[in-house]
Structure 1
Amino acid sequence: MMNMNTKKSFLTVSITSALLLGCFSDSNNSNNEQSQPILASQFSNILDRSGTPNHLAEVGAGNHMAYTPLHDNGAWHGHLLPDLSQSNENTAGGFGTTIIAEEYNVSMAKYLEKPMIILDGKKADFTTKAYSIPGALIQKLTTQDGLVIDLTLRFVSDRSSLLETKVLNPTSQSLELSLSGQLVMGYYAKDGDAQSQPSLSEKLPDYTRTLNSDNVGNVVVDFGRERDSWYVRTTGESAFHITRSIPTITTLTDNAYTSIKRITGNETFYTVFTHTLTAQEWAKEKTVVDDILANPTTYLTASINRWETYLEKGLSNDSVAPEHERVAVKAIETLNGNWRSPAGVLDHHTVTPSVTARWFSGNLTWPWDTWKQAYAMAHFNPDVAMENIRAVFQYQVQEGDALRPWDQGFLLDVVGMNMGKPRAEAENRTEFNDAQTWNERDTKPSLASWAVWEVYSALKNEHQREAEAIAFLQEMYPKLVAYHNWWLTARDTNKNGIPEYGATFDTEHNVTAEEAAKPRDMHNNWNGLAINAMKYKYIKLGEDKWTYDAGIEGYNALLDSQNYVDIGSPAQTAASWESGRDDAAVFGFIDTIADAKSTEPMSITQAQQIDQLGRYAVKHGFDNSITVNEIVDGNGKLTYIAEYTNTTPENNDKLNLAKKEWQVKFAESKDTNGQIVGYSLKQESVDQASYWYSDNNYLAKIAQAIGFSDDALEFKAKAEKTKQYINQCMFDANSGFYYDISINSVSLSNGCAGEPLSHRGMGPEGWSPLFNGAATQENADAVVKNMLDINKFNTHVPLGTAALDSPAYGADIYWRGRVWVDQFYFGVRGMANYGYQAQANEYVARLFQNAEGLTADRPIQENYNPETGAVQGANNFSWSSAHLYMLYNGFIN
C-alpha cells in the first residue's frame, strides 16, 4: 500500500506531467491534453462491473439487480463491462446499459457501440481485456497483427456519459468500422433463468422502444409512456440518445442498430450516451452534448480529476491494511454510484439507498439513510453531502401546509421525483403526481444535527471552506430546530420531554370519508367505520379470517381482552418504520402460530420453530404442542396450517399472558384544539432518547457556532436532563442492559414513565447510549459484557439486531437477527467510547473477515447473517458503505 503522503505528491506531479504530454492523435479535437488517473489506477476491479443483460429485469438474491453497473455524477443511466466468461456471447467491446426509469433501475441494452472491424474482407479477431477503475470502464481489444481498439467510458454530466474510442491501425489500410447496439428483449429473469416469462413487448405493451437515426448516423431510443408497472415507469418523453463525433451510415431494426464508418490510419472519436426523462431535459442537455463533443478531452480530464480528488480526500488513513483501503474505495464508489441529480419534483442532488435495489433506486430519499450517507461523504464529496441533506428538507412541512398543517417541522419518510397522490392533489400537481414510494406516514430518528455538524467540520477542517461551512450551519439551523420541536409536539404524549416513535395522522392510518361511505370490497375494508378513526385488523380466536375495525380505544381494548390470534395496525407498521428498525422485537414483533402456514409440507418441529410466541409462552406454563393440518380450498390448493393441540381456556390464559407482554398500545397526540396530530407507541425508546440526547448536544454546538448562545445553553440543559433520564429509567441492573420502557397510565415514583421492557430481549437499542455518549461508565461496562457474550451478540459476524437468546431472534429475520452495518458501527463506536477499543477492533476485524464478499469484488450489502456471514438484503447499499467508510476513516488503526 502506498503511503498517502506519497500518493498526494505523486498525484500532483503526475497530473502536471500528463497535462504536458501529447496524447493520442485526435482528429476531432485540437485540445489533446488529458490527465491520467493515478490514484484510481491502483484500484482496478474493486467491484465486479461485468454483465450481459438480456431482460428488462435481471435479478439475483432478494429480487435486486443481478449486476453492479457503473453509475456516476448523478446520471440516470449506468454501464456494464461485457461478461467475457459467457463464451457464447460475442459482446466484447460493447457496454451493457441500464436506465433508471424514474423509480426503478432496469436493463435497456445488451450492449451499445460494440465495435467490429473488417480488414481485407475479413472480420478482425480480437483478444479483449476489460476492467474497471473508480470512475471508469476500460476495454482494450487487440489482434495478433497489432490492430488495437482502446475504449474508455466515463460520466461527464448529470445526464451523459462519454466513450472515447481509439483505433490504432498500424497497417494504414482502409478499415470498415462497425458500431452496433442491441436492446434487451426479455422481461424478467432470476439468476439467469427466464422462467417461461413473456417477452418485454408482451408484458409491457405501452413500454415501446422506438429507434430512430439522423442524417449523420446518431441514434435515439424513444420510450413509450408506462405508469402502471412496478418495474419501469416512463413519461412518454424519456429517451436515450447516442451522439457521435464522427458521421456514420446507420441502419436500424426494431431492436438494434448498426453504424458503419470507413477509416484509414489511426482515429480517435467520441460517443455521448444521454438518458433524459422529459423532453425539457433533452432540450437542456443537447447543448451540453454539443459542448462535450466540441471539447471531449476537457470533459474526460474533469472526470479523471474529480475521481482523483475523491480518492485523495477520502483515503486519509495511512495505517490500515490493504483490504481495509480497498473496502474504503468500494464504499466511495458505492456512495457516488447511488448519487442522483435533480429530477421531477425533487430540486436537489441526493443519494439513494441503492441504485440496484428494486425499492431503493431513482432519487428516492430517506432521512435515516441521509444522515449516515452525508456524514461519510462529507469527507470526500461534501457538495453532494450537503445536497443530500437539502433534499430531505425540501419538503419539510411548513406553517399552513396544504396537506398536513398540523405537522409543522415534520420531515417526510420518503421523497423522490414523483409526489404521492394525496400531496399532489393538495398542491394541484399536474405532472410527477403518482409516486409509488413517496411516504408521509412517519419520519426517521433525529440524527440530523449529528450529520450537519460533521459536514460543517469537514468543510472547515479538511476542505478549507470555512465560509461555506458557517453558511451551511446558518442555512440548516432553523430547519433543524423546527424538526426538533416537531418531535415534542407530535411524539411526546406524556409531555416529559422524551419523544416516542409513532405514526402520522394519515389516510393510510385513519378511515377517510370516502372509505367509510364506499361499499366493502377487495380494495376497501372500512365501510361504515368512524371517519378519522385509527385503522386496525385482527383474527378472532377460533377464526382464520381478518376482521377490520377502527378506533384507538377499540384497538387498545382488544389488546386487553386478548380475544385475537393475530392483530395488526398500519400505524404500528409506520411506527416501526419511524425507528429505522422495521420489525424489531422491541416494538412487539414476534412470529406467531398464524405465521406457521405454508403451501410446502411443514413438520411439527418446523411449525414450532416458526411459532416464537408459543415457545416464549412456555415460561408461563403454556402447552405449545402443535398439530399441522392439510387444508384444501375451493380451488383445490393445498395449504399446511398449524394449530395448537391444547385449546382449553386454561391453556389459552397462559398464552394470553405472553401476548400481553408483546402487545404495543397506542396513544394519540393532540394539539391545543384537541385535533389529533399523530400517534405514539405507549413506550419510550432508548435509542430515540439517545439520539435525542445527541440532537440536543449538536444543536447546542451549532447554535454556539453561529452566535445563538442562549439557545446553546437551553439545548445543553435538555441534553443533560435526557442523559439522567436514560440512566435512571432505561437501564436494567439485573441484566446489565438498556431497554425501551413502557408508558404507564401513571408515572413511577422516581419520575420514569414505566418499567424496562426486558422480556422482549436485547437488541442494538441497548448500546445506543454508548454510541451517543449518554451512558455512565458503570452501565457501559455491563452493556459491553453482554455485547461480548457468545450466547448473545458475539457471533461469526458480531452484533446482530437481536441477541441469540432473544425470544424473537432469527438469523434471517430483517431486524431481529441480521447484522446491519450501521448498528454494528454504533456498537463498536460505543465500545471504544467507553474504553473497549481492543475488543471493538477485534469485532471490526471479524466483520471484514467474515462478511461474505466484503473484501472481494462483491457489492456492499444491506445486511449479513450473524451466524454464517452470508449476504442478505439489498446490494450496493449506501448506509452500509457509509459506516464501512467511517470505520476506515476514523476508527481502524
Structure 2
Amino acid sequence: MHPLARPLIFVVAAFVAAGANAAQMQQPVAHYQDLLDFHGTPRTAADRSFNIFFDMGAWQGYSLPRAGDRGAGFSGPFVHSLGTGQWTGTRFAALALRDEGGKSDIALKEVASHAVPGALERTFSASDLSVRQALFFADSWHALVRVELSAGKTRDIELAIEGRAMPLPGSHLASDGDAVVQGFADSPSTLVTQLHADGLVADHAVVSGNSYRIALDKPLHLEAGQSVTLYVVQTLRYDARAEPPAIDYAHAWDANRTRWAGYLKSVAASHLSGLPNDVAQRVAAKAVVTLIGNWRAARGDVHHDGVIPSYSNPDFNGLWAWDSWKHAAALAWFAPDLAREQIRAMFDYQGADGMVPDCVFIHRADDNWRDSKPPLATWAVMQVYRATGDRAFLAEMYDKLVRYHRWWFADRDHDRNGLAEFGSTDGTRIAAAWESGMDNAVRFDGAKMLKNGEHAWSLDQESVDLNAYLYREATELAQIAGVLGKTQDQQQWQAQGDAMKRAIQSRMYDAKLGWFFDAKLGEPALVRVYGSEGWTPLWAGVATAAQAAAVEKTMMDPRKFATTMPFPTLAADDPRFSPIKGYWRGPVWMDQSLFGVEALRRYGYRTEADAMARRLVLDAKGLAAGQATFRENYDPLTGDGYQSQNFSWSAASYLLLLGHGDNIRQ
C-alpha cells in the first residue's frame, strides 16, 4: 500500500440521504448552478483559455471536459505551484465499467455536466445503471471525486479508473503499489492518484506511457435500488517534508456542502436599490466563487493562506499587497478566517523599517521589494473587525499597522511637510509607478525621482489618493487605539488626521476646476489631470461639503466620468483617454469605481451613487445575465472586459458594491 493510502471507506445510500440537513444544504448551492463555464480540455500544458475549478486553497485545479467530450471524468489537474502553473494531466477519474465476465465496457451516456459552487458534477446513465461523479476538495491537499453508482437490478461490476498525464519534459509517471505517482522536473512536488472503496482493495496500478489505470481487485456488488459510493483521490504533495492530513471520507462531502452553504448565506444580503435582488445575488455568488477559486494555501515561503489576483494570468500566482487589502475587505463578510490569513500573509514579510513589500511568492526570490503598494491595510483590518468584532485581531495587527503607516512618512515624505509621495527603494521611476498601483497613469508622465535617503526615493509630486488613504489610516488607527484602550495614541492619531485633512483640502484642491489633483513638490503647481484619484478624498472623508459638491458635478458629467460603465480612471474627454489598451489611462477598474460610488454615498448623493452602481452591474458585458468572468478592467464606453479573467479584486469590489461591507461613516 502506498504510504499516502488511508483506510478504505465504503458508503451506501444511507450516507447520501443522511437526514434532511443534506438536502437543505444543497438547495442554496444548487440555485447558483453554472455561474461560470468550467468546460475545457487543455491542448497544451500552458492552456489558460477556459476556467479552472479550485477550492480550499488547493494548488491543483480541474475542469469539466469540453462540450462534446462525453467520456467520464474531468480535465486536469492544473498544478499552479509548478512554475507559473501548468496542466500535468488531461483526464482524471475516467471510469471503465464492465459487467462481471463481460467482454466489453458498459457504454455510459452523459446526462448532464454542471458546476455548482464548491463542486463539479457529472451524471451518466446506462441500461439499469446510473453514475454520478462529483469532484470537490476535502482540504488544500486532496481533490476527491465522489462516484455514486445506482443499479436498477442486482449486478456485479468490474470497475477501474483511468487517467492521462500531460506529456511534460522531465515528468515521470510510475506505479507504486495501488497508487500512481507523477513527479516533475526540477521540483520536489508529487501528484498521487488512488482509488478508495471499503471492503475492497484497489489492485496494483498499471502505467502505460502517459496513461494509467487502477482497478478494484474484485467486482463491485450492486443490489437493485441501492447506491454504492467510492472515491478517487488525487493528492498534490508540495514537497516530501510536508505530510498531508488524513481524509475524513465519511463526512467530507457534507462538510463541503455545509461550508459552501455558509459562504452563500451572505449572498442573501446582497442588495442594490433599483436592481432586482436575484440579479444582485447572482453577481455576489459569482464573486464568492471567484474569490474562493483564487484562494491558495500556505506553501513554500508563503506562510499564511491568501487569494491571488487571478489564476488565469501566469504573472499572478503570488500575493500582492494592494490586492490583498481589497480581497480581505470583502472576504471579511463571508470568510473572515481567510481574510485574517490574507492580511497576515503580507505582514509576515514586513521589513524592519515597517515597509510591506509589493508582492510575495512561494519562492521568496521572486518577491518584489522595489516598492510597496497604496496603504489600505488598516481599512482591511477594520473591515474584519466590523464584520466579526474580533478585538484580538486588532491587538495583533495594531503595532504592525503603526509601523507601516510611519514608514510612509519616514521614506516617502521628501520635504517633511506631512504629505507623502509614491516612490521606490531602488530609485527607478517604474517601481514608483508600480507603488501607486496605477502603473502608467497620465498624472505621472512628467514625474521625476528624488532621493530621500539610502533605499528611499520619491516622485516629485504628492499624490492626492496616497494622502487620502493615509488620512483614513490615521483616523482608523485612532478608532483601533480607542477600542484597545490606548487613549493617548487615539488622540495623537486624530490630531494627525486633522492636520492631514487641512493640508489636503488647501494644497490639493483646485476651487476653479472643482477637483482634487496631485501637487508638485517645491512649487504651488498642481498636476491637473482628471483621474479617479480626484474622488479618493471623498471616499476617505477629507473633502468639505462644498468641495464634494463640485467633485460630484464632475463625476456625474457623461463627457468625463458618468460613462456607459461609469468612473473610468481618466476622464473620457482627455485626449490621452485610451479605454481598450490604456491600462490605467481610461479603462474602468472596479476598485476605483467602488470608491467612487462610496464617495458619493458618504456625502449624501445616494441617488446618484445607486444609479452609477446599477450601471456597473448591468453594463459589464455578460456579468449579470451570462457566464462572463470578472475582468481586470472594463471599457467604460461599451462594458467589454479586458486583461485578466477571474480577477479577484473586481470580484471583491462587486461584493462590497452590493452591500457586503461596513456602512459609510462620517
Query: Taking structure 2 as the reference length, what is the TM-score of the superposition?
Result: 0.91
Q: Retained in 1: the 8 A contact 2:424–2:457?
A: yes
Tell me which structure has the larger Cα radius of gyration.
1
Render the CA deviation track for 1:88-118: whole Å, top value 9, x for unaligned.
x443333432111345232222211111323
Aligned residue number for residue 259 of structure 1: 214
Aligned residue number for residue 50 of structure 1: 39
Equivalent residue letter for 2:533: E
Report matched runs for 1:41-190 at 5 Å: 41-58=30-47, 65-83=48-66, 85-86=67-68, 89-119=69-99, 120-123=102-105, 124-143=107-126, 145-185=127-167
- Supply the distance in 2 between the matched residues of 1:341 and 1:499 (Cα, whole angstroms): 35
Aligned residue number for residue 764 of structure 1: 532
Matched, 1:374 2:315: no
Aligned with 1:35: secondary structure? helix
| Distance of aligned partners of 1:26 and 1:278 in 2 relative to their CA distance in 1, 3 Å threshold | farther
Q: Retained in 1: the 8 A contact 2:93–2:145?
A: no
Within the candidate set 615, 625, 642, 1:872 is matched to 642
Q: Retained in 2: the 8 A contact 1:102–1:417?
A: no
Aligned residue number for residue 791 of structure 1: 559
Render the CA deviation track for 1:319-348: whole Å, top value 9, x for unaligned.
752111111011111111111111111211
Render the CA deviation track for 1:233-263: whole Å, top value 9, x for unaligned.
xx2x211111221413532122111233432
- Supply the distance in 2 between the matched residues of 1:891 and 1:279 (Cα, whole angstroms): 41
Report matched runs for 1:176-575 at 5 Å: 176-185=158-167, 201=168, 205=169, 208-216=170-178, 218-225=179-186, 235=187, 237-246=188-197, 247-261=202-216, 262-265=219-222, 266-281=227-242, 284-285=243-244, 288=245, 291-292=246-247, 295-317=248-270, 321-361=277-317, 364-398=318-352, 408-420=353-365, 435=366, 438-460=367-389, 469-504=390-425, 506=426, 509=427, 571-575=428-432
- Supply the distance in 2 between the matched residues of 1:54 and 1:814 (Cα, whole angstroms): 29
Aligned with 1:97: secondary structure? strand
- Supply the distance in 1 between the matched residues of 2:562 and 2:602 (Cα, whole angstroms): 19
Shift of 1:24: 6.5
Aligned with 2:636: secondary structure? coil
Aligned residue number for residue 487 of structure 2: 709
Render the CA deviation track for 1:252-298: whole Å, top value 9, x for unaligned.
122111233432315321111111221112xx11xx2xx32xx3121
Matched, 1:665 2:652: no
| Distance of aligned partners of 1:502 and 1:321 in 2 relative to their CA distance in 1, 3 Å threshold | same
Gaps of 5+ in 1: 1-22, 59-64, 186-200, 226-234, 399-407, 421-434, 461-468, 510-570, 589-662, 671-675, 748-753
- Supply the distance in 1 between the matched residues of 2:337 and 2:584 (Cα, whole angstroms): 32
Equivalent residue letter for 2:361: G
Shift of 1:710: 0.7
Q: Retained in 2: the 8 A contact 1:687–1:766?
A: yes
- Supply the distance in 1 between the matched residues of 2:118 and 2:70 (Cα, whole angstroms): 25
Report matched runs for 1:485-884 at 5 Å: 485-504=406-425, 506=426, 509=427, 571-588=428-445, 663-670=446-453, 676-744=454-522, 754-758=524-528, 761-812=529-580, 813-855=582-624, 856-884=626-654
Q: Retained in 2: the 8 A contact 1:92–1:128?
A: no
Aligned with 1:476: secondary structure? helix
Q: Retained in 1: the 8 A contact 2:271–2:658?
A: no
| Runs of 4+ deviating beyond 4 Å | 29-34, 890-893
Aligned residue number for residue 626 of structure 1: none
- Supply the distance in 1 between the matched residues of 2:483 and 2:342 (Cα, whole angstroms): 22
- Supply the distance in 2 between the matched residues of 1:701 and 1:350 (Cα, whole angstroms): 26
Equivalent residue letter for 1:259: I
| Distance of aligned partners of 1:839 and 1:350 in 2 relative to their CA distance in 1, 3 Å threshold | same
- Supply the distance in 2 between the matched residues of 1:95 and 1:808 (Cα, whole angstroms): 44
Render the CA deviation track for 1:702-756: whole Å, top value 9, x for unaligned.
0111011111111111111111111111111222111101112xx5xxxxxx221
- Supply the distance in 1 between the matched residues of 2:564 and 2:128 (Cα, whole angstroms): 52
Render the CA deviation track for 1:62-82: whole Å, top value 9, x for unaligned.
xxx212211111111011112
Aligned with 1:141: secondary structure? strand
- Supply the distance in 2 between the matched residues of 1:857 and 1:249 (Cα, whole angstroms): 42
- Supply the distance in 1 between the matched residues of 2:450 and 2:375 (Cα, whole angstroms): 21
- Supply the distance in 2 between the matched residues of 1:789 and 1:313 (Cα, whole angstroms): 35
Aligned with 2:215: secondary structure? strand
- Supply the distance in 2 between the matched residues of 1:94 and 1:392 (Cα, whole angstroms): 34
Aligned with 1:150: secondary structure? strand
- Supply the distance in 2 between the matched residues of 1:453 and 1:689 (Cα, whole angstroms): 18
Shift of 1:500: 0.7
Shift of 1:54: 2.5
| Distance of aligned partners of 1:318 and 1:875 in 2 relative to their CA distance in 1, 3 Å threshold | closer
- Supply the distance in 2 between the matched residues of 1:841 and 1:892 (Cα, whole angstroms): 16
Render the CA deviation track for 1:592-615: whole Å, top value 9, x for unaligned.
xxxxxxxxxxxxxxxxxxxxxxxx
Aligned residue number for residue 544 of structure 1: none
Aligned residue number for residue 35 of structure 1: 22
Aligned residue number for residue 607 of structure 1: none
- Supply the distance in 2 between the matched residues of 1:322 and 1:38 (Cα, whole angstroms): 15
Q: Retained in 2: the 8 A contact 1:116–1:178?
A: yes
Aligned with 1:499: secondary structure? coil
Shift of 1:471: 1.0
Q: Retained in 1: the 8 A contact 2:298–2:305?
A: yes
Percent identical among aligned pairs is 33
Gaps of 5+ in 2: 1-9
Aligned with 1:874: secondary structure? coil
Shift of 1:455: 0.4
Aligned with 2:45: secondary structure? strand
- Supply the distance in 1 between the matched residues of 2:271 and 2:125 (Cα, whole angstroms): 38
- Supply the distance in 2 between the matched residues of 1:70 and 1:30 (Cα, whole angstroms): 23
| Distance of aligned partners of 1:584 and 1:142 in 2 relative to their CA distance in 1, 3 Å threshold | same
Q: Retained in 2: the 8 A contact 1:683–1:740?
A: yes
Aligned with 2:574: secondary structure? coil
Q: Retained in 2: the 8 A contact 1:148–1:169?
A: yes
- Supply the distance in 1 between the matched residues of 2:475 and 2:410 (Cα, whole angstroms): 20
Equivalent residue letter for 2:157: L
